[in-house]
Amino acid sequence: MPGRIDARLRELAITLPDAPAPAANYVPFVRSGATVYVSGQISRDANGLVLGRLGADLDVAAGAAAARTCALALIAQARAACGGDLDRIVRVVKLTGFVNSAPGFVDQPKVVNGASDVMVAVFGEAGRHARSAVGVAALPLGVAVEIEAIFEVA
C-alpha cells in the first residue's frame, strides 16, 4: 500500500537515493523519543559528489541544486528511520545548512532554499522547518553543501 508521501514523491518525479550507513563509528540517524536526528548529508547526485565552493566554482543555482540533493538524502534517511513509512514523519523540525563558501559569498540562504523548497514540496505544511544557513571554509571531501536535519516522527 503506497503511502501518501510516497505518492507525492511520484507526483514530483522524485526518486530518493539510497540511505547507506557511514563506514565509521557513527550512524546515519538516531531516534530519541519522537525526535530523529539525521547526520549531515553531503551533496551528491547521479554523477557523484557535487564539489566546489560557492562564489568561486559554483553559482547560486548550482548550489541550490546541490542543497536539494542533500535534502533528498535526508528524506531517504528519515524514511529508513521510519521503517520505510514516510507517512510517519510528523514534521520536518530543523535544517542546518553548511555552505562551502569563498570569501565574500553571502547568499547562503538562497543556496539552502534548494533544500527547504523540496521539503515543503514533499511534506507540505509539515515540511516547513526552522533553519540556519552558514558559510564554512571547508567541507568533507570538498563538497559544496552539507545539511543535517531533525525530524519529529509518530
- CB of 13 vs its own copies, minimal distance in Å: 19
Q: Is 65 helix (H, G, I), strand (E, B) or coil?
A: helix
Q: Smaller CB distance to its own copies: residue 43 or 116?
A: 116
Cβ 60 to its own copies shortest distance, Å = 12
| Residue number with CB closer to its own copies (7 or 90) | 90
Nearer to its own copies, 9 or 139 (CB): 139
Other CB atoms within 10 A of residue 94 CB: 16
**Smaller CB distance to its own copies: residue 2 or 52?**
52
What DSSP character marks residue 108?
Answer: H
* In the complex, minimum distance from the CB of residue 121 to its own copies, in angstroms, rounded to a whole number: 8
Shortest distance in whole angstroms from residue 61 CB to its own copies: 16
Between strands 29-32 and 44-45, the pairing is: unpaired
Enumerate residues 6+ apart whose C-beta is below 8 A from 66.
43, 45, 50, 58, 111, 114, 143, 144, 145
Binding residues for its own copies (CB under 8 A):
22, 24-30, 32-35, 37-40, 55, 91, 93-96, 98-99, 101-109, 113, 116-117, 119-120, 127-142, 146, 148, 150, 152
d(CA 143, CA 38): 18
Helix (H) or strand (E) holding 67: helix 60-81
